[in-house]
Homo-oligomer: A and B are copies of this chain.
Amino acid sequence: MLPSTPFSSETLFMRVTSFAFLASLLALLPFSSAVSASGSIKQPEDVLGEDAQALNAFQQQALDTTFATLDAEEERLKKRGETASCTRQNLEIRLDYGSISKKDRKAYSDAVLCLQSKTANTPSSHAPGAKTRYDDFVATHIDQTPFIHYSGTFLGWHRYFTWVYEQALRTECDYQGPIPYWDWPKYANSPQDSPIFNGDEYSMSGNGEYIPHAGTVLSPLPGAPGDPIVLAPGLGGGCVKTGPFKDMQVNLGPVALPNATLGPSGGLGYNPRCLKRDFGPGVAVKFTNYSAVLHIMKQQDIASFQLELQGAPGSGSVGPHGGGHYTINGDPGGDLVWTLWQALDPSNRQNAISGTNTLLNQPPSENTTLDTQINLGHAGGTNISMRDIMSTTKCPFCYVYL
A212, CB-defined interface residue at 8 Å: no
For A171, the chain B residues whose CB sits under 8 A away are 121, 378-382
Q: How many chain copies?
A: 2
Inter-chain contact A395/B387, CB cutoff 8 Å: no
A167's nearest neighbour on chain B, judged by CB, is B382
Interface residues of A in 43-98 (CB under 8 A from B): 82-83, 85, 90
> Cβ of A172 and Cβ of B378 under 8 Å apart?
yes
Whether the Cβ atoms of B388 and A85 lie closer than 8 Å is: yes
Let me know if A3 is at the binding interface, CB within 8 A.
no
Among residues 145 to 180 in chain A, which have CB atoms less than 8 Å away from a CB atom of chain B?
167, 170-172, 174
Complex CA distance for A90 and B371, rounded to whole angstroms: 10
A86 to B, closest residue via Cβ: B388
- A144 sits at the interface (CB 8 A): no
Contact residue among B119, B351, B387, B396 (Cβ-Cβ distance under 8 Å from A118) = B119
Interface residues on A, range: 20 to 34
A39 within 8 A of B: no
Q: Does A272 belong to the interface (CB within 8 Å)?
A: no
- The answer to whether A83 touches B387, judged by C-beta atoms less than 8 angstroms apart, is yes
For the complex, is A370 an interface residue (Cβ under 8 Å from B)? yes
Query: Residues of B contacting A172 with CB < 8 Å?
Result: 121, 378
Is A170 a contact partner of B382 (Cβ separation < 8 A)?
A: yes
A to B CB contacts below 8 Å, 6 in the list:
A83-B370, A85-B385, A90-B385, A121-B172, A171-B378, A171-B380
* Additional 16 contacts, C-beta under 8 A, given A121-B172, A171-B378, A171-B382: A82-B351, A83-B370, A83-B387, A85-B385, A118-B119, A118-B121, A119-B119, A121-B171, A167-B382, A171-B380, A171-B381, A172-B378, A382-B396, A388-B395, A395-B395, A396-B396
- 4 residue pairs, one from A and one from B, having the closest CB atoms: A395-B395, A121-B172, A119-B119, A85-B388
